[in-house]
């Protein structure tokens, strides 16, 4: 009965989707048409202004006010030609979404009439008076002046009628209140350190940028069903629901046929993304029912991060048009796979070289190995910080399960490279090499690309894997902003590159030839990062034991993982490289604690409400049906009745047991919340919530899921998993 009702609702959405019309144009003919990119700038800006913007992008030069006025005028003209009436600074506050406050270009003129105006000042800075964004104590609410400032390195774009200006968001005192500011700082730190190391091999390199190719996983659910599940709507995940008889066990969803309704949704997203210059390449079904993924061609990291956040906005909006809801939560459904966001990360030079791709010559492979071992050592030194950067309430339901990377950080390099590293470790010694040894090693290094070619090693159980020409971090949650793990990777890498260059300089200062010095430092880095390398099964019990022996921690508790933000080692790292001040790290720690505890609090409240107001009344209603039934049987069959009704009586008893347990545990959960709510210190309160409130959620759920299996389907008020999985 329920299924039929829900099915009818889904049918409306399916019909609606088929009515949508798509562009028949070639993608290349409209790609980026809603972006103020280089072509548009060339057309709308005076030559000098155009060149200033390019210099600002390529060399981090400042744009002076006069030029800013010219850029603003050109931008306004372009935007108005495309029908825009408003503009906004578009930024990424510390809450995994984006912020925008639209102002119109239109301005009434005193004495009558009106004009459209947009000055350099309005382009460069906007004061959002944003006292309600998370600040972790960085900005007092009475001193609410945070302001946003234009980031010329990410192009301006139009959504609907609004010109969106990618911006940083900072406090009046200059402290970063967003993701973009520290990301830009980490990109600059990496650039400085990487260029210095590059010049050991190629004097022409002027600029190095990190590249990012993300892969975004998500679920789709019919809007009507979503709205009938208050837990999904309010927390992003189902807090109850018995597993469907069939979900992903037949492995028939991954890369399967994409349903028509979903194809329509994907096409709609793609068309909008292409207009916005987001280079989406791939779309496919993922493992769980109703789970999908999309991935673009990689881009410079800052732009790629903006594009990922923009994509998520586009997806949420488009979903509504299709009567769907898109779920970015890391674990919307228990028992099937959750969603992650893979971070493919590498470094590219302004000479078009990927620094993590093996080259064709021994020299370019020395360069590759240099960057490769610096990445290994960065991972070894700051793996816990990387895990801290991905630790959230949502991700805690995914990490460490048997479908997502384990909670212990390690690096997978693949057999070929593992052998190369072992060989360097063995053959190079601290004493000078003989000429023969030198050529031998050079020849071996030269062979790397050939042996890499057929290296199809893919270790899906590794949180950080080298995949031939980049590293892939698989631990980030699907709902998160990509910036934070990138900030850690860039900064940790910058630190190691700095150490690498310094060590080479020290050795050459003692008279050792440059090539040999480089090889020796490579060897040292290999040895120093040994403990982080693991080629086996990351899910296995043996690995847990071995990792403990290597001093690697399983980051299973969110509140203890995020303590890394205020660990003295990390504070030093970020401070020295100019990425975060200590106060900025403390504020992020506080925000992470607070977000964690608020999410648990909301889940606990929603669960308590649903258990008391939906589940228990439904269970009792059905129990009364059974009681009537038992009484009827006893009346009818007298002495025989008791035995005949025994099974119903048992069911009645089971319902009572579950209802009683739900009531008791819900009460205890409320008491636990009360206990911790009065604790002022936010990290302590968050720890209390993690230890004493969160564990009630699966306990209560378990009783509810049992009741779902007992109670009459017609009486059950909430859509079940099998219904939520239809599309
Ligand atoms: P898989 O699912 O096998 O990991 P996908 O094709 O889904 O692979 O995604 C691979 C991602 O890696 C894409 O976003 C791609 O652009 C990205 N990528 C490829 N080369 C680089 C690179 N040099 N730097 C960053 N990302 C890269
Ligand atoms: Mg993939």
Q: What is the CATH number of the domain that holds 628?
A: 1.20.120.1560
Tokens 């002027």 map to which residue? 206
Mutate to test the pocket of ligand 1, among 344, 359, 414 (most ligand atoms within 8 A of CB): 344
Closest Cα to atom 13, ligand 1: which residue? 213
Q: Are residues 72 and 95 in the same domain?
A: yes
For residue 257, the model assigns a pLDDT of 84
- The bridge status of strand 208-222 relative to strand 299-300 is antiparallel
Closest Cα to atom 14, ligand 1: which residue? 213
Closest Cα to atom 17, ligand 1: which residue? 213
Distance between Cα 222 and ligand 2 center (Å): 24
Q: Are residues 58 and 82 in the same domain?
A: yes
Distance between Cα 482 and ligand 1 center (Å): 14
Distance between Cα 337 and ligand 1 center (Å): 21
Mutate to test the pocket of ligand 1, among 187, 212, 215, 372 (most ligand atoms within 8 A of CB): 215
Summarize the confidence of residues 281-308 as an average pLDDT: 95
Summarize the confidence of residues 355-379 as an average pLDDT: 92
Looking at all shown ligands, the one closest to residue 297's CA atom is 1
Q: Are residues 222 and 329 in the same domain?
A: yes
Distance between Cα 647 and ligand 2 center (Å): 50
Distance between Cα 279 and ligand 1 center (Å): 12
User: Predicted confidence band at 327 (pLDDT cuts at 50, 70, 90)?
Assistant: very high
Tell me which of 523, 554, 580 is where a domain ends. 580
Q: Which atom of ligand 1 is nearest to the CA of 356?
A: 23
Q: Are residues 358 and 437 in the same domain?
A: yes
Ligand 1 contacts (CB < 6 A) are 211-213, 215, 282, 295-298, 342, 344-346, 354, 469-470, 472
Q: Which domain holds residue 77?
A: 31-177
Mutate to test the pocket of ligand 1, among 213, 279, 465 (most ligand atoms within 8 A of CB): 213
Distance between Cα 215 and ligand 2 center (Å): 6
Q: Which atom of ligand 1 is nearest to the CA of 214?
A: 14
The answer to whether position 120 is within a domain reads yes
User: Predicted confidence band at 16 (pLDDT cuts at 50, 70, 90)?
Assistant: confident
Closest Cα to atom 11, ligand 1: which residue? 213
The answer to whether position 24 is within a domain reads no
In this predicted model, what pLDDT tens digit does every residue of 19-64 receive, in sequence order? Answer: 778 888 999 999 999 999 999 999 999 999 999 999 988 888 888 8
Residue 524 has pLDDT above 60, yes or no: yes
Side-chain-side CA neighbours of 228 within 13 Å: the count stands at: 20
Q: Rounded CA gap, 117 and 122, in Å?
A: 9
Q: Are residues 428 and 478 in the same domain?
A: yes
For residue 1, the model assigns a pLDDT of 43
Distance between Cα 345 and ligand 2 center (Å): 14
Residue 273 has pLDDT above 90, yes or no: yes
Terminal Cα distance for the chain, rounded: 18
Closest CA to 102 of 19, 158, 18, 144: 158
Mutate to test the pocket of ligand 1, among 307, 470, 482, 486 (most ligand atoms within 8 A of CB): 470
Distance between Cα 216 and ligand 1 center (Å): 11
How many independent structural domains does the chain possess? 3
For residue 454, the model assigns a pLDDT of 52
For residue 60, the model assigns a pLDDT of 81
In this predicted model, what pLDDT tens digit does every residue of 210-252 receive, in sequence order? Answer: 999 999 999 999 999 999 999 999 999 999 999 988 888 877 7
Q: Which atom of ligand 1 is nearest to the CA of 344?
A: 26
- Percentage of the residues of the chain whose pLDDT score is greater than 70: 95
- The pTM assigned to this predicted structure is 0.95
Q: Which atom of ligand 1 is nearest to the CA of 354?
A: 23
Distance between Cα 345 and ligand 1 center (Å): 8
Q: What is the CATH number of the domain that holds 402?
A: 3.30.590.10
Q: Rounded CA gap, 3 and 726, in Å?
A: 10
Q: Which atom of ligand 1 is nearest to the CA of 293?
A: 7
The answer to whether position 23 is within a domain reads no
For residue 96, the model assigns a pLDDT of 78
Residue 105 exposed, middle or buried by CB count within 10 Å (0-12, 13-18, 19+): middle
Side-chain-side CA neighbours of 690 within 13 Å: the count stands at: 24
Q: Are residues 134 and 229 in the same domain?
A: no
Which one has a higher pLDDT value, 319 or 128? 319
Q: Are residues 442 and 540 in the same domain?
A: yes
In this predicted model, what pLDDT tens digit does every residue of 100-154 receive, in sequence order? Answer: 889 999 999 999 999 999 999 999 988 766 567 777 777 554 555 788 999 999 9
The answer to whether position 590 is within a domain reads no
Distance between Cα 317 and ligand 1 center (Å): 26
Q: Are residues 200 and 97 in the same domain?
A: no
Helix 483-509 with 568-576: angle, nearest 10 deg: 80
In this predicted model, what pLDDT tens digit does every residue of 588-605 receive, in sequence order? Answer: 999 999 999 999 999 999
Mutate to test the pocket of ligand 1, among 298, 355, 356 (most ligand atoms within 8 A of CB): 298
Residues with CB under 5 A from ligand 2 (ion): 215
Mean predicted lDDT score pLDDT of the chain: 92
Letter string b/e over residues 308-323, b meaning 16 or more CB atoms within 10 A of that residue's CB: bbbbbbbbeebbeebb
Beta strand segments in 322-426, E: 324-327, 341-349, 411-412
Residue 430 has pLDDT above 70, yes or no: no
Mean pLDDT is lowest, of 57-61, 130-134, 202-206, 322-326, for: 130-134
The answer to whether position 10 is within a domain reads no
Closest CA to 6 of 727, 512, 723: 723
Which one has a higher pLDDT value, 193 or 141? 193
Looking at all shown ligands, the one closest to residue 469's CA atom is 1
The answer to whether position 603 is within a domain reads yes
For residue 172, the model assigns a pLDDT of 82
Q: Are residues 519 and 651 in the same domain?
A: no
Summarize the confidence of residues 520-538 as an average pLDDT: 94
Let me know: does 540 contact 402? Beta carbons within 8 Å: no
Residue 390 has pLDDT above 70, yes or no: yes
Q: Are residues 626 and 519 in the same domain?
A: no
Looking at all shown ligands, the one closest to residue 472's CA atom is 1
Distance between Cα 468 and ligand 1 center (Å): 10
Distance between Cα 401 and ligand 1 center (Å): 24
Closest Cα to atom 1, ligand 1: which residue? 215
Q: In this structure, what token pair is assigned to residue 451? A: 């042996």
Q: Are residues 265 and 362 in the same domain?
A: yes
Residue 539 has pLDDT above 70, yes or no: yes
Distance between Cα 383 and ligand 1 center (Å): 21
Q: Are residues 263 and 363 in the same domain?
A: yes
Q: What is the CATH number of the domain that holds 170?
A: 3.10.20.70
Closest Cα to atom 26, ligand 1: which residue? 213
Which one has a higher pLDDT value, 528 or 100? 528
Which one has a higher pLDDT value, 95 or 12? 95
Q: Rounded CA gap, 705 and 139, in Å?
A: 45
The answer to whether position 492 is within a domain reads yes
Looking at all shown ligands, the one closest to residue 459's CA atom is 1
The answer to whether position 148 is within a domain reads yes
- Percentage of the residues of the chain whose pLDDT score is greater than 90: 75
Q: Rounded CA gap, 138 and 445, in Å?
A: 50
Looking at all shown ligands, the one closest to residue 466's CA atom is 1
Residue 98 has pLDDT above 50, yes or no: yes
Mean pLDDT is lowest, of 48-62, 120-134, 377-391, 518-532, for: 120-134
């Amino acid at each position: 009965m329920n299924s039929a009702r829900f099915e009818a609702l889904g049918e409306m959405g399916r019909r609606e989707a088929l009515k949508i019309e798509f562009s028949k144009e070639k993608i290349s003919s409209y790609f980026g048409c809603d972006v103020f990119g280089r072509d548009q700038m060339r057309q709308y800006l005076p030559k000098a202004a155009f060149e200033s913007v390019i210099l600002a992008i390529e060399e981090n030069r400042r744009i002076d006010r006069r030029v800013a006025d010219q850029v603003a005028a050109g931008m306004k003209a372009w935007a108005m030609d495309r029908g825009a009436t408003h503009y906004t600074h578009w930024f990424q506050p510390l809450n995994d979404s984006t912020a925008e406050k639209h102002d119109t270009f239109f301005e009434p003129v005193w004495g009558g009439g009106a004009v459209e105006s947009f000055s350099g000042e309005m382009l460069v800075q906007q004061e959002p008076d944003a006292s309600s964004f998370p600040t972790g104590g960085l900005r007092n609410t009475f001193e609410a002046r945070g302001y946003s400032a234009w980031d010329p390195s990410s192009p301006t774009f139009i959504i609907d009628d609004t010109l969106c200006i990618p911006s940083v968001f900072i406090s009046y005192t200059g402290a970063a209140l967003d993701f973009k500011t520290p990301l830009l700082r980490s990109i600059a730190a990496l650039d400085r350190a990487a260029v210095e190391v590059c010049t050991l091999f190629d004097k022409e390199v002027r600029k190095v940028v990190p590249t990012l190719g993300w892969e975004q996983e998500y679920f789709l659910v019919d809007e009507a069903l979503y709205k009938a599940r208050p837990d999904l709507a309010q927390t992003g995940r189902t807090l109850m629901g018995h597993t469907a008889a069939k979900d992903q066990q037949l492995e028939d969803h991954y890369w399967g046929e994409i349903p028509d309704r979903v194809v329509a949704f994907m096409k709609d997203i793609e068309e909008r993304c292409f207009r916005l210059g987001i280079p989406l390449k791939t779309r496919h079904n993922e493992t769980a029912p109703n789970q999908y993924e999309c991935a673009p061609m990689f881009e410079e990291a800052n732009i790629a991060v903006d594009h990922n956040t923009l994509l998520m906005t586009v997806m949420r909006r488009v979903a509504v048009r299709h009567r769907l809801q898109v779920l970015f939560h890391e674990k919307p459904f228990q028992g099937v796979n959750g969603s992650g966001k893979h971070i493919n990360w590498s470094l590219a030079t302004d000479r078009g070289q990927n620094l993590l791709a093996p080259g064709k010559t021994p020299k370019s492979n020395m360069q590759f190995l240099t960057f490769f071992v610096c990445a290994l050592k960065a991972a070894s030194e700051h793996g816990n910080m990387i895990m801290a950067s991905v630790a959230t309430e949502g991700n805690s339901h995914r990490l460490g399960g048997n479908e997502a990377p384990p909670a212990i950080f390690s690096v997978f390099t693949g057999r070929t490279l593992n052998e190369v590293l072992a060989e360097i470790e063995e053959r190079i010694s601290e004493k000078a090499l003989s000429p023969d040894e030198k050529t031998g090693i050079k020849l071996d290094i030269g062979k790397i690309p050939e042996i890499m070619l057929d290296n199809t090693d893919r270790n899906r159980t590794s949180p950080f894997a080298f995949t031939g020409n980049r590293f892939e971090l698989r631990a980030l949650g699907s709902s998160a902003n990509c910036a934070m793990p990138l900030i850690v990777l860039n900064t940790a890498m910058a630190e190691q590159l700095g150490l690498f260059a310094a060590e080479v300089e020290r050795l050459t200062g003692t008279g050792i030839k440059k090539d040999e010095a480089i090889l020796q430092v490579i060897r040292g880095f290999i040895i120093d990062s040994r403990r982080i390398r693991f080629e086996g099964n990351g899910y296995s019990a043996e690995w847990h034991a071995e990792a403990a022996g290597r001093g690697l921690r399983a980051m299973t508790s969110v509140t203890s993982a995020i303590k890394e933000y205020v660990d003295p080692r990390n504070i030093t790292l970020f401070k020295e490289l100019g990425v975060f001040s200590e106060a900025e790290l403390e504020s992020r720690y506080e925000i992470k604690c607070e977000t964690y505890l608020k999410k648990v609090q909301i889940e606990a409240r929603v669960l308590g409400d649903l258990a008391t107001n939906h589940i228990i009344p439904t269970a009792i209603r059905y129990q009364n049906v059974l009681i009537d039934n038992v009484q009827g049987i006893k009346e009818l069959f007298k002495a025989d009745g008791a035995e005949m009704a025994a099974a119903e009586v048992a069911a009645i008893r089971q319902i009572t047991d579950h209802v009683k347990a739900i009531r008791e545990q819900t009460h205890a959960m409320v008491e636990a919340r009360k206990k911790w709510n009065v604790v002022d210190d936010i990290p302590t309160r968050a720890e209390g919530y993690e230890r004493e409130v969160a564990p009630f959620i699966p306990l209560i759920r378990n009783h509810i899921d049992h009741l779902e299996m007992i109670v009459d389907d017609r009486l059950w008020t909430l859509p079940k998993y099998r219904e939520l999985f239809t599309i």
